[in-house]
Amino acid sequence: MPRTALLLSTALLAVVLSPTASQAADDPAPVPVDRFEGEVPFASQPAEGIFTWGGDSDDPPALQLTARADAPEGQKVLTGAYDISGYGGFTHDFAADRPAHDWSARRGVRFWWEGQDSGKKVPFEIKDGGANGEASELWTTSFTDDFSGWKQIELPFTDFAYRTDYQPVGGIDHVLGLTQMWGYALTLPVGVKGRFAMDDVELYGSADQALRASVTTDAAVYPVREGGTAAVAVTLATTGSAPLDGPVTVAYTTNGGTADPGRDYTPVTGTLTFPAGTASGATRTVKVRTLRDKAGEPAETIPLKLTVTGAKAPAETPQVVIDAGGLPYLDRKSPVRKRVADLLSRMSLEEKAGQMTQAERGAVGEGADVAAYELGSLLSGGGSTPTPNTPQAWAKMIDGFQLRTRATRFQIPLIYGVDAVHGHNNLVGATIMPHNIGIGATRDPRLAQRTGEVTASEVRATGVPWDFAPCLCVSRDERWGRSYESFGEDPALVQSMETVVQGLQGRADGRDLKDDDKVLATAKHFVGDGGTEYGSSTTGTYTIDQGVTEVTRRQLEAVHLAPFRTAVDRGIGTVMPSYSSLDVLGDGQGPVKMHARADMINGVLKGRMGFDGFVISDWNAIDQLPGDYPARVRTAVDAGVDMMMVPYGYKDFTSTLIDEVNAGRVSGRRIDDAVSRILTQKFRLGLFEHPYAQTRNASEIGGAAHRAVARQAAAESQVLLKNSGGLLPLRTSQKVYVAGSNADDLGNQTGGWTVTWQGASGAHTQGTTILDAMRKDGNVTYSKDASAPMTGYDVGVVVVGETPYAEGVGDVGNGHSLQLSAADRAAVDRVCAAMKCAVLIVSGRPQLIGDRLGAIDALVASWLPGTEGDGVADVLYGKRPFTGRLPVTWPRSEAQLPINVGDTAYDPQFPYGWGLTTLTKAPAGGAATLRALGVAAAAAERAGADSAGRALVSRARLIVQQKVGTDLTAAVATPFSDADHLSLTGRYAAAVRKLSEAYRAT
């Protein structure tokens, strides 16, 4: 049905017409973008087409072109159904192999939408600049589905704002030029099942100068000391940098705010003029002089109101701020305790609630809400980065947010946090360490500390003072998708690696936190997240992550709480509770979410252990608690959670918390305790004196010295499980055939939590793959799938394993298993059938390879070595010896899981602590030598000579491993693994006795 006929039909009586939808008499005819008659196919780049996308496999909507008698234009409309849990929508991208479109002559974009009266906002994006639709800047606005039937939605280009929470590449020019457009995208509502119909996307109207010209200020906030003068730069910008068509005037006046005109500042008023022909980039300056009164007082604001004619006005009214001064909490020489008490005594409930609130950077846009809600903290979730993703952009972004705090009464600085769990892993080009599972394999506490030092230096140099690391989980089941975040299955091993806390924070008393190469660390996840039972998770399709840990009180103390006692002793600054539930047998409570366990947070952590830092919740964790929202807030706060990570729900949280306190359901004393803890760490970090990024060390990010530490960590993390005939180390003279999916894939090598939350295969950051590193040392031929001819080679190296994942997404049973992929199995079979072979398993957890072990000459657990593949090549070619030892038990089959050191039934493929060495001959001798070593170990233990004791145990271990060879039985594995645990706890004589028992069982 043509549109004219439709407009006359009685069927259109239900159509709600927008009051702006009528075309002005002098407007040009609209230009079609998408009529949905089939002229644009369902396709993707580089061809033009409509395609869907979403956060997981269920999120992309189902689309089709549907014939409708009531179609506003033509015969068909675009219809779709959706049920989105994460995010989802669809895009129309223009063809990348043809020129971009020019929309600059038009006022806006409009389309017909069949309303369902859902009340939901529907974001609409347009794509500007860049190479194609998927490499363009995103500019967004939205409309509300608060009507029924067809309605024409008009979106003027002046309503679109640059997206700050996500850009695919971004950073092109941050100007909506409209001269190089690549299409549009529409994001559908989350959390409700829905359907939609859409028709006739078109460009309408004529552009005016207000679209092509804009006025901006160089900042939103201008802090000055009392008596100083603020200079507000007002700048003209035009599309395509063209000169102005007509004049632009900017009337300005100081108006409102908390400062008193005449007493605190000299009022100003006037007009700035940019005549026709003015070049883009022209700047005029308005100066505001403040007055000195020498009284101690909070910060005071002076808004500078701008009225713009002929151009788009700034999005915000700039504010001049007279800094707070003369108040006791600002005295850097005063003890922290006194500074906290003074500041706390001055704060309102609203300001205290803000300090207890952490939002995601993407939720606050340019940051105005930082001041409006007195926010205490922001974070970057995994993959939430500035554009471009560079150290300079990080520092600029965080400084911009920090600047917003200057417009609050007491100018309390933000504390910005990131998940830097193996280096500054959100930052492209940063030094990426092995994941914790590999660090645990090194058994090298000094190296663990050095990796923390490198991480802290790189993180702080980008303006971030807070790291959500280390994970002190004791991983008891390798089916857990977070198992690689653990140092190992033995609490003693985890405790020994907590030297990383000093690497991150410095000395335990916190005196180093103010330094520009130290960050506040976070012990997570309190408590028992590594002990969740398989099948107990109720989160989406997860099978074990965020599930239930069922333990006796004794098991809880010995296994899961022990690492947190050590962390508190080491001065850990913050602690993050776990998503998981804790079920302590016999306590009568059953499974209770950790964010609700006051007995554990207030009672054990803060009370018995004496933790004096603050507790930060996990991402939206309160949403998993029972009851309505006020009950969840009340429960978590009363349980001892001091700051709530509510990434996009910060407004609801602050208002709810204030209401709960005012109603007497949360005590003011509890609020004061939480805020005191938060402020204490901010003072210790020196943020009141230095709120902005300290970038002195930025030039060292990803530098040679830092990568050398990561290279050493990668080398020491390699665990040699089997080495028949001394195949390893390789000789540089050998011709080596390399195969496998993980030989030349930096993304697989670095794993999850790298650049993005889940990580990704491929080259997404800077580093050296294992293949590239091997090519530096040897004569190497590579065939990923082992399809190239195999004759004439001395040895094969097959690098296989996992692809990246994070958290419960990686749970076994949630699309993952402990089996190698079919392609990897085929590569192993082909190469190992043709020549002597070494197999390297790049993975976050053991892989089941027992059925192929007989055909493999050498087997290496490479874990997730990070960006420095050179470290792996170092041990393969004998530049360094293999010294790594298993931080977890390597099972024979999945049916054995969970299997851990200390189990009564223990018959693994390789026991905890197993690890062959190269370049060092095993000590001569047998049972008699072991007895002598036991005597010496007892003497070292009595003398407190830990280094000597560990060396004696290591000698005994080498003797046993040499005799055992591949004859690993349960009778050998049980005492062998027990010995490693005993050595870590300082019981060296008992460790040698256990090794003697393993020797006799061979």
The catalytic site residues sit at 618, 807
Residue 762 has a CB neighbour count (10 Å cut-off) of: 9
Which residues, in sequence order, are bridge partners of residue 484? none
Distance separating alpha carbons of residues 830 and 640, to the nearest angstrom: 57
Contact between 786 and 798 under an 8 Å Cβ cutoff? The reply is: yes
Distance separating alpha carbons of residues 659 and 637, to the nearest angstrom: 13
Contact between 362 and 649 under an 8 Å Cβ cutoff? The reply is: no
Distance separating alpha carbons of residues 438 and 487, to the nearest angstrom: 7
251-255 CB contacts, 8 Å cutoff, 24+ apart:
251/306, 251/307, 251/308, 251/309, 252/286, 252/304, 252/305, 252/306, 252/307, 253/304, 253/305, 254/288, 254/302, 254/303, 254/304, 254/305, 254/320, 255/303, 255/305
Only one residue has tokens 């100068």, namely 209
Query: Where does 292-355 have alpha helices with state H?
Result: 336-346, 349-355
Distance separating alpha carbons of residues 906 and 381, to the nearest angstrom: 39
How far is Cα of residue 926 from the mean position of the Cα atoms in its chain?
51
Distance separating alpha carbons of residues 467 and 83, to the nearest angstrom: 35
The first and second tokens of residue 529, run together, are: 């997240």
Peptide bond into 298 cis (omega under 30): no
Contact between 227 and 269 under an 8 Å Cβ cutoff? The reply is: no
CA-nearest of 326, 351, 344 to 679 is 344
Cα torsion for 156, 159, 160, 165, to the nearest 10°?
-160
DSSP 306: E
Distance separating alpha carbons of residues 251 and 234, to the nearest angstrom: 11
> Distances from the Cα of 969 to the Cαs of 854, 886, 907, 908, 966, in angstroms?
16, 17, 6, 8, 9
Q: Which stretches of 10-119 are assigned E, i.e. beta strand?
A: 31-34, 49-54, 62-67, 76-83, 88-93, 108-116
CA-nearest of 642, 688, 635, 370 to 522 is 642
> Distances from the Cα of 327 to the Cαs of 375, 481, 690, 808, in angstroms?
21, 50, 17, 48
Distance separating alpha carbons of residues 899 and 264, to the nearest angstrom: 70
Query: Where does 620-717 have alpha helices with state H?
Result: 629-639, 650-662, 668-684, 704-717
Instruction: Give me the sign of the Cα torsion angle 641, 642, 645, 651.
Output: positive
The first and second tokens of residue 719, run together, are: 């665990």
> Distances from the Cα of 257 to the Cαs of 251, 263, 267, 408, in angstroms?
18, 13, 12, 11
How far is Cα of residue 750 from the mean position of the Cα atoms in its chain?
14
Distance separating alpha carbons of residues 755 and 87, to the nearest angstrom: 19
The first and second tokens of residue 528, run together, are: 């028992």
DSSP H or E stretch at residue 948: helix 946-964
C-alpha atoms less than 13 angstroms from C-alpha of 676 in its C-beta half-sphere: 14
Strand 357-360 vs strand 377-380: parallel, antiparallel, or unpaired?
A: parallel
